[in-house]
Structure 1
Amino acid sequence: MEMTKNYTDSQDAEAQEELLQDSDCCGNGCTHCILDNKPRPSNRVLLAGKRNVILSYTKFRLLRRDSLGGQVLLLHFGHAAEEEEKVEAETGTEDTVLDIPPGHHVMMRVGSLLRPYSPYWSDFLAKEFRILVKLQRGGPMSRHLAVVRPNDLLEFRGPIGQYLHDPTEAKCIYILAQGVAIAPTLPLVRQVLENEEDMSRLWHLVCARDLQHVYFREELLEFAHFWNYRSCLYLPHQQCESAACQEAGHCDQECPNLRRSLRYRETAKMSRLDASGLATHANPSIPGKRVLIVAGDSNFQRTMAQSAIHSLAVDPAHVYLL
């Protein structure tokens, strides 16, 4: 206990020494700004008696880079250990871990350029994480990420966010995801489904252009085997090669080609998600506090949050924007 206390005191001292500056803000109007949500040790880290390696800007090595088509990249990073840390790892005395709780993001720094990214997977002990990135035409960070290659080093700091899930209280959790922003919602789902004592119900509503742009589709199908998980895809621009759908500009709900494209337990709507669509998932007969999590661009977050407060009877205090 004394060792843990001393270690905690050391962490607090480090936090005091490294006060956040205005320059730590990326200026993009993030819902959870680093200036308001200072990276701090989590209970998991304190119980482990170790330091979270990402609390200050730290170098991570790009281990793998995959293209998912178009301008979407999957990037896998691992902590670039210093020589002293390598010796500690070899001798079993390593005192650092990587803790990025579900619903939190990390800040990438390239020179004076800062951008937030939300990992969809991380490894506590191996100190690795993965992010899904959509390159924006003309975007300064996108230009940099477009040319990064394995073994390149980038700096990250975090975790930044406010969302905390209490598994002892059964809830109805509605998770709305837009495009590539589905990535950071995966850990939110896993933390409920992997805990057999968590009686919370999940509704995962995924908004994408069409089936081709539904990322992590296999993971969604695996989630669908759990009794407390439901999902629905909203695909307003789904279009097959049939003459009728080509003429209409999109498939209709009864399109046979669409029905053949869907997998077992997969539900899809050929429309945008709106207030009326949200209302179909309300399920007022199911008890439990309503929680809303919205992942997407600022316009999507604002629109969906406003609609869900009324359509799903969600208290504004229980709305979280990623």
Structure 2
Amino acid sequence: MTADGEQKVEDAFTIQESDCCGNGCTNCILDNKPKPSQRALLAGKRNIILKYTRFRLLQRDSHKGDDQVLFLHFAADSDEKDDCVLDIPPGHHVMLRIGSLLRPYSPYWTDFASKEFKILVKLQPDGPMSKNLAAMQLNDRLEFRGPIGNYQHDPAVTKCIFIIAQGVAIAPTLLLVGQVLENEDDMSRIWHLVCSPDLQHVYFRDQLLEFAKYWNYRSCLYVPHQQCGSAACLVAGHCIQECDELRRSLRYKERVCLHRLDASELESHANPAIPGLRVLIIAGDSGFQQAMGEAAARALAVAQENVYLL
């Protein structure tokens, strides 16, 4: 590599205080700066997202008519496309910059060669970044930088991986699950515990059902506010486990609990007889991470150094 090339790489890793979004992210860019990509190096190319790069909006969809939850698909908009790839490892996020606004988002799908990625966004009322995203049109350009995070998975080490996801934060966990299930040599097992108010707000249900075809994957949906119009459920204020309407709405082998995920429920998933290093991944807002973190680690017998917050 030439001196100029070395300087460009060094510039890509330079982090300033202004790169922090100020939202108290668990994986702050000041602590987890974008790293060189081994995949990109092997390909003889650079990772296009190491510095702020423009990406074009290819597709925008709402979740079942809910215009507050958006599926956004981006592609790199660069003159150097042939010299670059896009590598965002599972469990990492990218930083979106619009003017002085910065917000982290975690992709649920990426394409290494075509330099594309998808994110799931929940718009917040009166949120400055949400207003910008709500106004976006196809082919608009936004700037992203990354990848930021500290999670790494070694397929050579058999693990029991417990993933607890809240609402839209299920999105980045899909890549974490995929990298295990798609590797036939990986003997790790996954427990995917998804917390949502009701079934309508369980995102990627079809993808979860695809995962359920694998021997080493198990999921459970926790939907404490599921409600139908039957007399018994209206009296209870939520669906009851015997609800016929609820049963008709479930898919094959779909497991649902009509209460919150708590310590006793977590213990039911522990199963110490199954071998493997215990790993806990919690995806959600800071309040959810704090509420779940200590209780889940204790109930599932996970050492603190193997707890990851997304």
| TM-based fold match above 0.5 | yes
Corresponding residue SS for 1:131: strand
Q: Residue 3 of structure 1 corresponds to which residue in structure 2?
A: none
Q: Residue 65 of structure 1 corresponds to which residue in structure 2?
A: 60
Q: Which amino acid aligns with 2:10?
A: Q
Q: Does 1:47 align with 2:42?
A: yes
Structure 1's consecutive aligned runs of 4 or more residues displaced over 6 angstroms after TM superposition are none
- State the alpha-carbon separation in 2 of the partners of residues 132 and 155 from structure 1: 17
Q: Which amino acid aligns with 2:206?
A: E
Shift of 1:65: 0.5
Corresponding residue SS for 1:60: strand
- State the alpha-carbon separation in 2 of the partners of residues 258 and 234 from structure 1: 13
- 212-221 vs 32-41, which deviates more? 32-41
- State the alpha-carbon separation in 2 of the partners of residues 78 and 47 from structure 1: 22
Q: Residue 17 of structure 1 corresponds to which residue in structure 2?
A: 11
Q: Residue 257 of structure 1 corresponds to which residue in structure 2?
A: 245
Corresponding residue SS for 1:81: coil
Q: Does 1:218 align with 2:206?
A: yes
Shift of 1:266: 0.4
Matches within 5 A, 1:114-133: 114-133=102-121
Matches within 5 A, 1:150-161: 150-161=138-149
1:10–1:270 CA distance, 2 compared to 1 (3 A): farther
Corresponding residue SS for 1:180: helix
Corresponding residue SS for 1:173: strand
Shift of 1:16: 2.6
Q: Residue 104 of structure 1 corresponds to which residue in structure 2?
A: 92
Shift of 1:259: 1.4
1:67–1:11 CA distance, 2 compared to 1 (3 A): farther
Q: Residue 73 of structure 2 corresponds to which residue in structure 1?
A: 76
Q: Residue 56 of structure 1 corresponds to which residue in structure 2?
A: 51
- 123-132 vs 305-314, which deviates more? 305-314
Which deviations, in whole Å up to 9, do the C-alpha atoms of 1:92-148 show, x marking residues without a partner? xx2200000000000000000000000000000000000000000010000100100
Kept in 2, the 8 Å contact 1:57–1:155? The answer is: yes
- State the alpha-carbon separation in 2 of the partners of residues 33 and 300 from structure 1: 18
Shift of 1:75: 0.3
Q: Does 1:311 align with 2:299?
A: yes
Kept in 2, the 8 Å contact 1:108–1:154? The answer is: yes
Kept in 2, the 8 Å contact 1:106–1:158? The answer is: yes
Matches within 5 A, 1:130-149: 130-149=118-137
Shift of 1:12: 4.7
Count of residues in Structure 1 that have an aligned counterpart in Structure 2 = 307
- State the alpha-carbon separation in 2 of the partners of residues 174 and 13 from structure 1: 41
- State the alpha-carbon separation in 2 of the partners of residues 242 and 53 from structure 1: 54
Q: Which ranges in structure 2 are unaligned for 5 or more consecutive residues? A: none
Question: Equivalent of 1:27, from 16, 22, 27?
Answer: 22
- State the alpha-carbon separation in 2 of the partners of residues 13 and 168 from structure 1: 35
TM-score by length of structure 2 reads: 0.97
Shift of 1:10: 6.3
Which deviations, in whole Å up to 9, do the C-alpha atoms of 1:49-94 show, x marking residues without a partner? 1100000000000011001133100000000022xx3xxx6xxxx2
Question: Equivalent of 1:247, from 235, 247, 250?
Answer: 235
Identity over aligned residues, as a percent?
68
TM-score by length of structure 1 reads: 0.93
Question: Equivalent of 1:287, from 229, 250, 275?
Answer: 275
- State the alpha-carbon separation in 2 of the partners of residues 238 and 145 from structure 1: 29
- State the alpha-carbon separation in 2 of the partners of residues 10 and 104 from structure 1: 29
Matches within 5 A, 1:159-238: 159-238=147-226
Kept in 2, the 8 Å contact 1:11–1:51? The answer is: no
Kept in 2, the 8 Å contact 1:209–1:238? The answer is: yes
Q: Which amino acid aligns with 1:193?
A: L
